[in-house]
A and B are shown apart, each in its own frame.
Chain A
Amino acid sequence: MPRLSYAAPASVPDAIKLLAGAEGLAKVLSGGTDLLVQLRSGRTRPELIVDTKKIPGIIGIRETEDGFVIGAATSGAEIGENAALVAAYPGVVEGTNLIGSTQVQGRASLAGNLCNASPAADSVPALIAAGAVAVVVGPNGQRNVPVGQIVIAPGRTSLAKGEFILEFHLPKPKAKQSDAYLRFIPRTEMDIAVVGCGVNLTLDANGVITAACIVLGAVAPTQVVVEAAAKAIIGTKLDDAALAALDAAARAACNPITDKRGTIEFRTKIAGVLARRAAKIAYDRAGAR
């Protein structure tokens, strides 16, 4: 095994130079709750670890005129403590706070959850549903990438050599817009999602849905944006017929695997159930705005 080196650059250009200049595999370190486990098991064998946490702004949350900026390495615990973010994006925050234990929350970040590229990552469906954008920096400058375009396959991202995520931008929610995330696990804590579902809804003054995004996790190799599910409920007040159509559309979008946590049939059925439940929660939250 090649010797591992570690660097903790204090600026974006220094981090890019290190990542781009590495001969072998270079890995970005945020909270380490995936990377250190994989390092120990031998699943990943980098020659360089670049700890980005000394880069100014990569930890922390800022509220701007356009919405929120969340530093890529901000911990789940810090995200859950930000009252303004919790009020604006309860679904994004509840997804993020479902990751692991209190201890894991003390370190786990959005960038790590996303770039580990697990189909079951709990923060990702609500982030995609919210229209979150990842600010990617690298040797060729900066590009803004919708979160849904980062993961391309289990364990693989669209980031090029030398690139990493600096921060996430969440748009300012509209009047009567809100979100929700639900997952199913066989226990009440500390498990990996069998199915996850993020829903983001916008209503008009009469409670009619004018915009919707429904995103499923753990039912396909990557997160799935279910456009048919959005169509099924836009223009409705989420009545029983709309919920039934939503359920059917969510099930139709599934392409899951069978593993010890659930069969294909079970995952597909639960996707419909969670889509309905999460949509109801998001609808009530949006209506209460």
Chain B
Amino acid sequence: MSKIHVTTTVNGEPAEFLCEPQESLLDVLRDKLQLTGSKEGCGSGDCGACSITLDGRLVCSCLVLGVEAEGKTIGTIEGLANGDELHPLQRKFLEHAALQCGFCTPGLLVATKALLDANPNPTETEARFWLAGNLCRCTGYDKIIRAVMDAAAEMRGEHA
């Protein structure tokens, strides 16, 4: 059987690829579109390292088929920074040392961005529940939460 041709939009740019029906969107992003920021931790929806947005919704790209991207709008970690200028979330993750190995970081940043888009002023509890599907084996989460809360405050203009 021949591969399926898919036309989609990734980080605001048109993109197209050929893929097998069973290939995950994560594999397509990494192997076909060379967007290797999204990581595969588990491949089963448990770790969140593959987090992306699909038509604005936060999802695990390991649990989306590549063919499902047809006509959709995808957002990945590669779309977060503005050229060489880091997004405030990325800056705050660095300032707070909210990463060690960094494997979970792209997924956490994409997930946090989705949180702050929906709710610019989350409580710590809300942030922790929202991010419960993003596992980190290194940091113990506390620094991540500090970075998230600090970035949210800055993005609300509370540091100026």
Contact = CB atoms under 8 A, between A and B. Distances in A.
Interface of A: 3-6, 8, 29, 31-33, 36-37, 39-41, 49, 51, 53, 75, 77, 100-104, 106-107, 189-190
B45 A37 contact: yes
B133 A104 contact: yes
Given A4-B21, A4-B22, A51-B68, A102 B132 contact: yes
B111 A100 contact: no
A189 B64 contact: no
Interface stretch (B52-60, B82-90, B96-104, B148-156): B52-60
Given A5-B1, A49-B21, A107 B64 contact: yes
B152 to A, nearest CB: 16
B37 interface: no
A5 B70 CA distance: 15
B11 interface: no
B80 interface: no
Contact of B63 (A6, A8, A37, A189): A37
B22 A103 contact: no
Closest 3 CB pairs of A and B: A101-B133, A6-B21, A189-B132
A33 to B, nearest CB: 5
Given A51-B67, A102-B130, A107-B63, 7 more contacts: A3-B1, A4-B20, A4-B22, A6-B67, A32-B65, A101-B45, A103-B60
B129 A33 contact: no
A75 B60 CA distance: 14
25 contacts: A6-B65, A29-B65, A32-B65, A36-B24, A36-B62, A36-B64, A37-B45, A51-B65, A51-B68, A75-B57, A101-B48, A101-B132, A101-B133, A101-B134, A102-B58, A102-B115, A102-B131, A102-B133, A103-B48, A103-B58, A103-B60, A104-B133, A106-B59, A107-B57, A189-B133
A242 B4 CA distance: 60
B43 to A, nearest CB: 6
B16 to A, nearest CB: 17
A193 B150 CA distance: 34
B51 interface: yes
B1 A33 contact: no
B46 interface: yes
Interface residues of B, number: 33
B133 A103 contact: yes
Contacts of A5: 1, 21
Nearest to A38: B44
Contact of A32 (B21, B48, B63, B131): B63
Contacts of B20: 4
B74 to A, nearest CB: 13
A106 B58 contact: yes
Contacts of A100: 45, 133
Contacts of A189: 129, 132-133
B8 to A, nearest CB: 13
A39 B64 CA distance: 12
A104 B21 contact: no
A6 B60 CA distance: 20
B53 to A, nearest CB: 8
Given A6-B65, A102-B130, A37 B58 contact: no
Contacts of B68: 8, 32, 51, 53
A124 to B, nearest CB: 19
A103 B65 contact: no
Interface string B27-56: 000000000000000011110100100100
Nearest to A75: B57
A95 to B, nearest CB: 16
A30 to B, nearest CB: 11
A36 B60 CA distance: 11
A78 to B, nearest CB: 8
A189 B62 CA distance: 20
